[in-house]
Amino acid sequence: DTGVSQNPRHKITKRGQNVTFRCDPISEHNRLYWYRQTLGQGPEFLTYFQNEAQLEKSRLLSDRFSAERPKGSFSTLEIQRTEQGDSAMYLCASSLTGVETQYFGPGTRLLVL
Amino acid sequence: GDSVTQMEGPVTLSEEAFLTINCTYTATGYPSLFWYVQYPGEGLQLLLKATKADDKGSNKGFEATYRKETTSFHLEKGSVQVSDSAVYFCALTPWRYGGSQGNLIFGKGTKLSVKP
């Protein structure tokens, strides 16, 4: 069990640029979740996958956000035309069907200038 | 919609003091309840959980009991240590997912500092 990994750990970008984050879940986990956390707040759900199927998306996930999990393993989260309000920590978590515990990665901290 | 409310921080205690962090929730049906902890510089970790009314979750000396009548899941520890300094998050998974496997809804977090 190598844990959930996320890359990059930090990203600084200019407003209007596109960014992409990667999440590698625990290898046998078939569910993968994306959350966003701003300073002083708890994480907020964005979307989740079971295998390669995206089963739910939050209202927080605007049209500028897209997530994929093409082969049911790693996932990417892309933000197009970034805005300053997108600055946050983006967290990925994974779990196994039938087990409630979600395991979180260290997060990718995004700063939009 | 479903939500979680937890006490505002920061909370500062002396070592060996008793800890309570209050958490209440609003949800339909029978959500599963969780406490997650975030130590400085580390990712979120599950501390304990309870999946049905009157269940008690426990781990590392921490306990919380699922109280449906008061919609609460307060976190307690009898004697805190400096190493318990962290941010604690109360969370639930909504009932519409059968109480499991769905997204987590978090409170805002409570920062605990324990002084020697």
pLDDT tens track of chain B, all 116 residues? 889 999 888 999 999 999 999 999 999 888 889 999 999 888 899 999 998 899 999 999 999 999 999 999 999 999 999 999 999 999 998 876 554 557 899 999 999 999 99
What does the pLDDT read at residue B96? 66
Which residue on chain B is closest to A103 by alpha carbon? B45
Percent of chain A with pLDDT over 90: 81
Write the DSSP symbol of residue B42.
Answer: S
> Given an 8 Å threshold on Cβ–Cβ distance, is B43 in contact with A42?
no
> Given an 8 Å threshold on Cβ–Cβ distance, is A42 in contact with B100?
no
CA distance A47 to A43: 12
How far away is chain B from the Cα of A102, in angstroms, using its nearest Cα?
Answer: 8
CA B29 centroid distance within chain = 19
Residue A8 tokens, joined: 């990059």
**Residue of A107 and B41 predicted with greater confidence:** A107
The owner of tokens 């949800």 is B27
What does the pLDDT read at residue A61? 85
What does the pLDDT read at residue B102? 76
Given a contact cutoff of 8 angstroms between Cβ atoms, the answer to whether A43 and A54 are in contact is no
pLDDT higher than 90, residue A90: yes
Chain A residues within 8 A of B43 when measuring between CB atoms: 4, 91, 104-107
Chain A residues within 8 A of B91 when measuring between CB atoms: 42
Residue type for position B96: R
Which residue on chain B is closest to A43 by alpha carbon? B106
What does the pLDDT read at residue A59? 86
Given a contact cutoff of 8 angstroms between Cβ atoms, the answer to whether B92 and B4 are in contact is yes
Closest to A42 measured CA to CA, from B25, B77, B51, B13: B25
What does the pLDDT read at residue A60? 82
How far away is chain A from the Cα of B59, in angstroms, using its nearest Cα?
Answer: 14
Given a contact cutoff of 8 angstroms between Cβ atoms, the answer to whether B17 and B80 are in contact is yes
- Kindly provide the residue ranges of all beta strands, DSSP E only, lying in chain B, ordered along the sequence: 3-6, 11-14, 19-21, 23-26, 32-38, 44-50, 56-59, 62-65, 75-77, 86-93, 105-106, 110-115
pLDDT higher than 80, residue A99: no
CA distance A22 to A6: 6
Residue ranges of chain B whose CB lies within 8 Å of a chain A CB: 4, 32, 36, 42-46, 49, 51, 89, 91, 93, 100-109
Q: Is A56 on the interface with B (CB under 8 A)?
A: yes
Which residue on chain A is closest to B6 by alpha carbon? A42
What does the pLDDT read at residue B43? 87
pLDDT higher than 80, residue A70: yes
**Residue of A99 and A85 predicted with greater confidence:** A85
pLDDT higher than 80, residue A12: yes
Which residue on chain B is closest to A46 by alpha carbon? B103
Write the DSSP symbol of residue A101.
Answer: P
> Given an 8 Å threshold on Cβ–Cβ distance, is A31 in contact with B101?
yes
Name the residue facing A100 among B45, B93, B108 (closest C-beta). Answer: B93
What does the pLDDT read at residue A1? 53
SS3 A85: helix
**Residue of A78 and B97 predicted with greater confidence:** A78
What does the pLDDT read at residue B40? 87
What does the pLDDT read at residue B100? 52
Closest to A33 measured CA to CA, from A73, A91, A93: A93
